[in-house]
Structure 1
Amino acid sequence: MKFKNVLVIGIVLLSFASNAQYRQNKLKKMNQENVNVKLETSPAVTSSIATFGAGCFWCVEAVFQKLKGVDKVESGYMGGKTKNPTYKDVCSGQTGHAEVCQITYNPQKVSFEELLEVFWKTHDPTTLNRQGNDVGTQYRSAIFYHDNTQQAIAQKYKVDLNTSGAFDTPIVTTFEAASVFYKAENYHQDYFNLNGSNPYCQLVVKPKVEKFQKVFKDKVKKD
């Protein structure tokens, strides 16, 4: 009889412990859900980063500097294996880096989708490792995504463009996880604004900027 009582008490205690653990796990889950809710209802994010490679970074920088909602554009290198590469290193095509622009923007004023639209409409994403006369892997069309959301949005956008026949040939833009961004030398920053009379700027950069201003006239910053 005593044995049965001990057994019953043991079962009750185990049941209590099990229920206690269940409640603890449930509360933990609820707390986590509350944290998630708080994150979702926290003040809106006003600064995000996008990184694009679309040929010479002078062109990319000049275009995105004029887009409403963009706060800062920096030219640099990403996607390679060499630490602290120089412009000469990247131009050799041996480092694996692409010339890119790191864009700081306000998602309350311009969406990532809008950035992608400008990206795809202001360069040729169908030529592999080339933009015009600029040839090499450093000039590849590339989207360096900073999170899974950017990756998913960009990949879907590419599929939709290919399906719609927006371009005569398939898009070859690569999707690469954002890695270390190496800011380019100072003389590359704000290049078009400071060197607009440069022959390359007149022949290559200026037409891209003018195309952007024509196609996206409602999204151009006011001077």
Structure 2
Amino acid sequence: MEKIGFGGGCHWCTEGVFQAIRGVQQVDQGFIRSDAPADTWAEAVVIHFDAAQIDLATLLEIHLRTHSAAKPFVPGGKYRTAAYTFNDAQASMLEGAISSLALAFDKPLSTTVLPFREFKPSDARYQNYYATDPQRPFCKRYIDPKLAYIRKNFAKVTRSV
């Protein structure tokens, strides 16, 4: 089992998106810190995945396409578009993949590759936010469109509904 962290907008949305992907075994929702200037807590998830079922490049592309990956970094902000790596090989691979994928976006990507340093889970009441009540207005407005997008554009790796 491999791990990767992703931050980008609300962690409720990010959690819901990756829980819908085949090969993702677990999604830990909470806050991640890295090294300065990204050492403040930011909303993010840690994804535990089986690389034989889903590759890291596909997970990255799903991440980039389901949040505002061109949003500029704001030091101290709780939203950071980032990939948090657990080893140097992941960092190298992701930096190259972001450069390649950037050509397919209208705006320059601001997603950064950062070393994972620390994680703290969000409150239990927010865990599995979409899975526990997909009828919430927030889920209908923000998460459902992301799920519809991945079901359409990443159908081969999306779990059955």
TM-score between both structures, scaled by the size of structure 1 = 0.66
The list of structure 1 runs, each at least 4 consecutive aligned residues, that deviate by more than 6 angstroms after superposition, is: none
| 1:74/1:103 contact within 8 Å kept | yes
Secondary structure at the residue paired with 1:206?
Answer: helix
| Residue correspondence of structure 1 range 176-195 to structure 2 within 5 A | 176-195=114-133
Secondary structure at the residue paired with 1:139?
Answer: coil
Residue 140 of structure 1 aligns with which residue? 80
| Residue correspondence of structure 1 range 127-206 to structure 2 within 5 A | 127-129=71-73, 137-162=77-102, 164=103, 166-206=104-144
Q: Distance in 2 between matches of 1:197 and 1:111?
A: 31
Q: Distance in 2 between matches of 1:72 and 1:180?
A: 18
| Residue correspondence of structure 1 range 110-125 to structure 2 within 5 A | 110-125=54-69
Q: Counterpart amino acid of 2:40? A: G
- Length, aligned pairs only: 157
| 1:80/1:98 contact within 8 Å kept | no
Q: CA deviation at 1:78?
A: 0.7
Q: Which has the higher helix share?
A: 1
| 2:26/2:47 contact within 8 Å kept | yes
Q: Counterpart amino acid of 1:214? A: K
| 2:61/2:101 contact within 8 Å kept | no
Unaligned 5+ segments in structure 1 are 1-46, 82-94, 131-135
Q: CA deviation at 1:161?
A: 2.5
| 2:82/2:111 contact within 8 Å kept | yes
Cα deviation digits, residues 176-198 of structure 1 (max 9, x gap): 11011111111111101112222
- RMSD over aligned Cα, in angstroms? 1.8
Q: Which has the higher strand share?
A: 2
Secondary structure at the residue paired with 2:99?
Answer: helix
Unaligned 5+ segments in structure 2 are none
Q: Are residue 208 (structure 1) and residue 152 (structure 2) matched? A: no
| 2:85/2:91 contact within 8 Å kept | yes
Q: Distance in 2 between matches of 1:62 and 1:161?
A: 23
Q: CA deviation at 1:129?
A: 4.6
Q: Distance in 1 between matches of 2:78 and 2:144?
A: 21
TM-score between both structures, scaled by the size of structure 2 = 0.90
Residue 8 of structure 2 aligns with which residue? 54
Q: CA deviation at 1:108?
A: 1.1
Greater relative contact order, per chain length (Cα 8 Å cut-off, separation 6+): 2
Q: Percent identity?
A: 27
Q: Counterpart amino acid of 1:191? A: Y
Cα deviation digits, residues 15-62 of structure 1 (max 9, x gap): xxxxxxxxxxxxxxxxxxxxxxxxxxxxxxxx0111100110111111
Decide which structure has the larger Cα Rg and report it: 1
| Residue correspondence of structure 1 range 32-71 to structure 2 within 5 A | 47-71=1-25
Q: Are residue 222 (structure 1) and residue 160 (structure 2) matched? A: yes
